[in-house]
Structure 1
Amino acid sequence: MSNAATPPPSGQDDIEIIVRAYSVRFGVAVRKLLRIEGGFVDDKLDRGGATKYGISLRFLASEGAFDDDGDGKADFDLDMDGDVTIDDIRLLTVSGAVYLYHRCFWQALQCERFPAPIGEMLFDQGVNGGRGSAVKLLQRAINQCLMEARAKMGAKDAPAMLKVDGGLGDLTRTALGWVLRYPSLGRDALVPAFRAAARERYRDIVTRYPSQQRFLKGWLARADELGR
C-alpha cells in the first residue's frame, strides 16, 4: 500500500498503446492509478510485501495463479519456476499490471456499471486496499447519506441502513440508487462521504499498525483525490 516508489520505466506512449485495448473510461482510471502507484518498491514496512505498479506480492501470489491463456501454467509465474515470488513482481510489466487491474478489480467490482466517479473510487480503493474493503467504504458512505436524509431531511422512504459486509448485492445497489436520485443528496453528498470513509480506514490502519504511520500523509492525500 506504500505510495513511495520509483517511477514506471515505460514511457507514456507505451501506456497509451496498452490502454487502447480497454474501454475509454477504464483507460482514464488506469492512467491516473499508474501515476499514483509508480514502479518497483520493496519496503519492509509495507504489509503487502514488494510492490510494482500497485500490484503487491501478497496479491499476486494469491490471485495471480489463474491460467487465462490455457498453457497449464500460472499466467503470473513470470519466471516459470513453479511459484510466485518477488522475482515475478520484478518481472511484472505495465501491460501485465493493467491486465490485472482490469480483470481483478475493474471487472470484478463491475466498475463500468456504476456512474462516474463511483466506479472509479471503487477501483482505486479496491487496488489500494482490496475489493471487499472498497465495497465497505461505499456502504459506509451510503449509510452516512441515509442517516442525513432521515435526520436532516425527514426522508421517511429512505432504504434501511446497509450491513457493512463488503458484499456488492441488490440491497447496496438499491440504496445507492436511492441516494443518487434523492434531490438533496446525490453525488455531491456521496463522494465526500466516500472520501471521509477512506480517510477513516487509513487512520484505523495506523492505529492498529503504528509502523504504517509513515504512509499516512500519502494515503490521506490519495483519499482527498477520490472522485476528482
Structure 2
Amino acid sequence: MTQSYPSVFEQVFEVLLEFEGYMSDDKHDAGGLTKYGISQRAYPSLDIANLTIDDAKRIYYTDYFLKAKCDQLPTELACHVFDTAVNMGVSRAIRFMQRAIKTTADGIFGKGSRAALQQALSNRGETNIALDYLSYRSVFYSRIVQRNQTQQKYLRGWLRRTYRLQQFILSDRQK
C-alpha cells in the first residue's frame, strides 16, 4: 500500500534527494554508511544497503517531518525546518526556527513557539523569517568547519544545499 503525504513534504523530498539520493560511506562523515541520507549511525538496526526509496520516505516523514512539527508550519518554514532536521537533527532545526522568530530556542515547538510564530508571521512575513532561518543554518555550517577542518570539504555542498532550498522556496515552487 502506498502512503499519501502532504504536497509540501513531497516537493521538499524531491529537493532533498538531489543531495541525499545516493549511497556513501565516507570515513570523515560521522553518519557512516548512508543511503538516501539515512545513516547507519542514526539507524543501527536498519539494513542501509538494501533500503528502498519508499522506506526512506516513510522514515523522513515520520522521524523528521512530523517530529519537527513541519505539518504545523507554513510552507516555506516547513521546507527549511524539514531539511535542517534531516541534515542536523530535529531539535536543532526547531531551535533555528525559534531563533528566527525571536523566542526561546529550546528545541521544543510548543504553545509558546506557536504563539511567537504567529506574531512573527504577522510582523515580518514568512519569507523574511525563512531567510533569517537560512542565515542561522549557514553560520552553523561555518562553525562546524572552524571547529574541525576535516569538515571543510563538506562546506560548499552544505551551503549549496541551503541555497538550493532557498531557490526552491523563492522560485521553483512558485512556477
So what's the TM-score if we normalise by structure 1? 0.69
Equivalent pair of 1:38/1:53 in contact (CA under 8 Å): yes
Q: CA deviation at 1:220?
A: 1.0
Counterpart amino acid of residue 116 in structure 2: A
Q: Of the candidates 93, 99, 114, which is equivalent to residue 140 of structure 1?
A: 99
Structure 2 unaligned regions, length at least 5: 170-175
Which residue does the alignment assign to 1:149?
none
Q: Name the Cα RMSD after superposition.
A: 1.7
Which residue does the alignment assign to 1:189?
128
Deviations 1:26-73 (A, max 9, x none): 211211111221211000000111111011111112xxxxxxxxxxxx
Which residue does the alignment assign to 1:203?
142
Equivalent pair of 2:69/2:109 in contact (CA under 8 Å): no
Which residue does the alignment assign to 1:216?
155
Give distance in 1, aligned partners of 2:113 and 2:4. Answer: 31
Deviations 1:44-103 (A, max 9, x none): 000111111011111112xxxxxxxxxxxxxxxxxxxxxx26xx1111111110010011
Count of aligned residue pairs for this structure pair = 167
Which residue does the alignment assign to 1:107?
66
Matches within 5 A, 1:54-133: 54-61=37-44, 84=45, 88-133=47-92
Identity of aligned residues (%): 34
Equivalent pair of 1:40/1:52 in contact (CA under 8 Å): yes
Counterpart amino acid of residue 101 in structure 1: Y
**SS of residue in 2 equivalent to 1:59:** coil
Equivalent pair of 1:195/1:226 in contact (CA under 8 Å): no
Equivalent pair of 2:68/2:91 in contact (CA under 8 Å): no
Counterpart amino acid of residue 67 in structure 2: A
Structure 1 unaligned regions, length at least 5: 1-16, 62-83, 144-161
Give distance in 1, aligned partners of 2:110 and 2:146. Answer: 30
Equivalent pair of 2:21/2:37 in contact (CA under 8 Å): yes
- Structure 1 stretches of at least 4 aligned residues deviating more than 3 Å after TM superposition: none
Give distance in 2, aligned partners of 1:49 and 1:27. Answer: 26
Equivalent pair of 2:23/2:35 in contact (CA under 8 Å): yes
Q: Does 1:44 align with 2:27?
A: yes
Give distance in 1, aligned partners of 2:18 and 2:70. Answer: 20
Give distance in 1, aligned partners of 2:145 and 2:83. Answer: 19
So what's the TM-score if we normalise by structure 2? 0.88
Counterpart amino acid of residue 76 in structure 2: P
Q: Of the candidates 92, 110, 118, which is equivalent to residue 177 of structure 1?
A: 118
Q: CA deviation at 1:163?
A: 2.3
Equivalent pair of 2:100/2:133 in contact (CA under 8 Å): yes
Give distance in 2, aligned partners of 1:92 and 1:129. Answer: 21
Q: Of the candidates 163, 167, 183, which is equivalent to residue 104 of structure 2?
A: 163
**SS of residue in 2 equivalent to 1:44:** coil
